[in-house]
């Protein structure tokens, strides 16, 4: 839709200290509510990611890492040595209140990378667990106060469908991803996966969220735009038309009309 | 130019602890470079304000507060008790390297308010110092790397003009304000003050900044828009025209054409 002709980059200083932390939970609800309580406590988190039980199981199977087959939160704290230690301690207290167990943390780069490996390899290890399945990835984003129900409803529906569908998420932003894995060539499974993805988008709208947090709208989700944006969608279209009167810049994506 | 029909408010938790700090400097250069070094060190500052020597002197005269007649930085740190204490200590070390003296801090609300009084009363105490003068306020914003020269050039030119013109600023953002005080009814002084304000705007553009950080463009600074935004100014105008084809929404402000 546009061309970037100039970029101004804002640099942030390298933090003096970085601490990564991992914690397992009995259920999704405990993990997500721990995130909400941590945010509400004003504890600054540089990263906070959710990994569901299935993703943990696939990673354990692929690597013999031996994490519990349970939902996990993975966090990173940036700041001074004293600051990150205090932040990690306070998160640990909050997580414990919400059923968090097996809290572990790491400061050195190689140890942090080992903790983060489950998240970084989630896509690859899920594909390894289902050779011959076709990945469909989709994401939604909801207000943080609705995140627990959004993830739980999605996980329950995926479980009931029989389609493998691990969930991971940038839960500090209310954003999460499902990796749906219908068997290649199974038309019914493909349809079921498409329906699961559509239901995620409609769930996001029902809960006051957006049909895509970061994967984008493109053509696939343009059908939700009128419902998501109301009259604002036509306003966006008018701005596009003013800048691209001939409709030559990425037509048919995101906006009404061209 | 528009109507706000819906607002989503992001709430931030009340910090567990707040610490205010004040420090005097020999010169503007030391104060501004201490800000830059603090930002580069990744020390999180909730607020950082610059108050020039003249503003300190007016405040001392109005209140007998007894601060040094010197440029000051005033800061606020938010976080845990331990975190804000550490941040204030580290800022103090950096400030000392740049000639900072008389570092003081406060944690209790009433003590913090006492430290901040010089900044909060800067406008009022400057007017009190010059009864019968007409205030002209203007602000510019420059990249933080150019802030020291922007403030110094501005202060030197104001000093040479004979017009009172204290400077205060939200220096963490590269933004500062001059309060020019020509004698009411003195046409030559009024012209000089207008010229000082115009030179500030041109200085901002020369240093890669913007002619107003927060006072806005309106009609008074619309003449700088073509230079500041180049071809982007016409693009902004096209967007405005798309949303307001009859030119009835705040015409003549900020944008080319209507």
Instruction: Please state the domain extents for chain B.
Output: 17-124, 130-206, 217-258
The model's pLDDT over A7-40, given as tens digits with 9 standing for 90+, comes to 989 888 788 899 999 999 999 999 999 999 998 8
Compute the distance between CA of residue A59 and CA of residue A120 in angstroms, rounded to an integer. Answer: 10
- Residue B80 has its nearest CB partner, among A40, A86, A242, at A86
Residues of B with CB under 8 A from a CB of A: 12-16, 39-42, 44, 78-80, 82-83, 86, 90, 235, 238-239, 241-243
Suggest the residue from A46, A89, A242, A256 to mutate for an interface test with chain B (most B CBs closer than 10 A): A242
Max Cα-Cα span within chain A: 59
- Residue B238 has its nearest CB partner, among A39, A42, A243, at A243
The model scores a pTM over 0.90: no
Dig out the tokens for A101 from the structure: 């167990």
Query: In the prediction, which pLDDT does A111 show?
Result: 94
Compute the distance between CA of residue B29 and CA of residue B40 in angstroms, rounded to an integer. Answer: 16
Low-confidence ranges of chain A (pLDDT < 50): 258
How buried is residue A50: exposed, middle or buried, by Cβ count under 10 Å (0-12/13-18/19+)?
A: buried
Taking the CA of residue B42 and the nearest CA in chain A, the distance in Å comes to: 5
Query: In the prediction, which pLDDT does B1 show?
Result: 64
**CB neighbourhood size of B165 (10 A):** 25
Query: CB–CB of B98/B44 below 8 Å?
Result: no
Query: In the prediction, which pLDDT does A5 show?
Result: 86
Q: Which chain A residues are within 8 Å of B242, Cβ to Cβ?
A: 238-239, 241-242
Q: Which chain A residues are within 8 Å of B13, Cβ to Cβ?
A: 39-42
Q: Which chain B residues are within 8 Å of A12, Cβ to Cβ?
A: 42
Query: In the prediction, which pLDDT does A8 show?
Result: 86
CB-side neighbour CA atoms (13 Å) of B192: 20
Same fold, B17-124 and B130-206: yes
Compute the distance between CA of residue A181 and CA of residue A199 in angstroms, rounded to an integer. Answer: 16
Suggest the residue from B15, B35, B79 to mutate for an interface test with chain A (most A CBs closer than 10 A): B79
**H/E segment holding residue A83:** helix A81-97
Compute the distance between CA of residue A225 and CA of residue A231 in angstroms, rounded to an integer. Answer: 10
Question: Do the chains contact at A40 and B79, CB–CB below 8 Å?
Answer: no
Residue that the structure tokens 């279209």 belong to: A237
Query: In the prediction, which pLDDT does A257 show?
Result: 74
Q: Which chain B residues are within 8 Å of A80, Cβ to Cβ?
A: 83, 86, 90
Suggest the residue from A18, A45, A80, A230 to mutate for an interface test with chain B (most B CBs closer than 10 A): A80
Query: In the prediction, which pLDDT does B49 show?
Result: 96
For domain A17-124, which CATH number applies: 3.40.50.2020, 3.40.50.720, 3.30.70.3450, 3.40.50.2300?
3.30.70.3450
Q: Which chain A residues are within 8 Å of B40, Cβ to Cβ?
A: 13
Taking the CA of residue B140 and the nearest CA in chain A, the distance in Å comes to: 19
ipTM over 0.85: no
- φ, ψ of residue A113 to 5 degrees: the values are -60, -35
Compute the distance between CA of residue B180 and CA of residue A80 in angstroms, rounded to an integer. Answer: 42
Taking the CA of residue B16 and the nearest CA in chain A, the distance in Å comes to: 8
Q: What averages of pLDDT result for each successive group of 10 residues across chain B (258 residues)?
A: 83 88 94 91 91 95 93 94 91 96 94 93 96 97 92 96 96 95 98 98 98 93 96 93 91 84
Compute the distance between CA of residue A224 and CA of residue A79 in angstroms, rounded to an integer. Answer: 41
Query: In the prediction, which pLDDT does B40 show?
Result: 85
Q: Which chain B residues are within 8 Å of A86, Cβ to Cβ?
A: 80, 82-83
Query: In the prediction, which pLDDT does B8 show?
Result: 86
Chains A, B: CB contacts under 8 A, how many? 53
Dig out the tokens for A205 from the structure: 């709208």
Compute the distance between CA of residue A74 and CA of residue A76 in angstroms, rounded to an integer. Answer: 7
Query: CB–CB of B137/B176 below 8 Å?
Result: no
Fold of A130-206: Alpha-Beta Plaits (3.30.70)
- Of all residues in chain B, the one with the smallest CA distance to A37 is B13
Q: How far is CA A17 from CA A39, A115, B42, in A?
A: 20, 16, 11
Compute the distance between CA of residue A21 and CA of residue A19 in angstroms, rounded to an integer. Answer: 7
- φ, ψ of residue B246 to 5 degrees: the values are -90, 0
């Amino acid at each position: 839709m546009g061309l970037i002709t100039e970029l101004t980059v804002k640099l942030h200083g390298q933090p003096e200290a970085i601490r990564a932390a991992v914690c397992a939970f009995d259920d999704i609800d405990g993990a997500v509510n721990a995130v909400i309580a941590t945010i509400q406590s004003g504890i600054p988190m540089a990263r906070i990611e959710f990994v569901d039980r299935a993703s943990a199981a696939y990673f354990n199977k692929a690597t013999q890492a031996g994490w519990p087959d349970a939902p996990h939160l993975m966090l990173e704290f940036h700041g001074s040595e004293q600051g990150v230690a205090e932040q990690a301690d306070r998160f640990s207290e909050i997580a414990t209140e919400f059923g968090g167990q097996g809290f572990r943390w790491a400061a050195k780069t190689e140890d942090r990378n080992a903790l983060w490996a489950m998240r970084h390899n989630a896509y690859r290890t899920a594909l390894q667990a289902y050779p011959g399945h076709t990945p469909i990835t989709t994401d939604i984003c909801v207000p943080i106060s609705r995140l627990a129900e959004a993830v739980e409803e999605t996980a329950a529906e995926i479980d009931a469908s029989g389609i493998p569908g691990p969930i991971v998420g940038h839960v500090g932003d209310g954003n999460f991803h499902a990796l749906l894995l219908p068997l290649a060539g199974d038309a019914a499974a493909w349809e079921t996966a498409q329906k699961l993805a559509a239901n995620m988008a409609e769930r996001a709208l029902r809960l006051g969220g957006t049909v895509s947090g970061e994967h984008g709208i493109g053509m696939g989700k343009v059908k939700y735009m009128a419902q998501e944006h109301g009259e604002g969608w036509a306003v966006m279209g008018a701005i596009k038309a003013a800048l691209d009167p001939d409709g030559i810049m990425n037509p048919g994506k995101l906006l009404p009309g061209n």
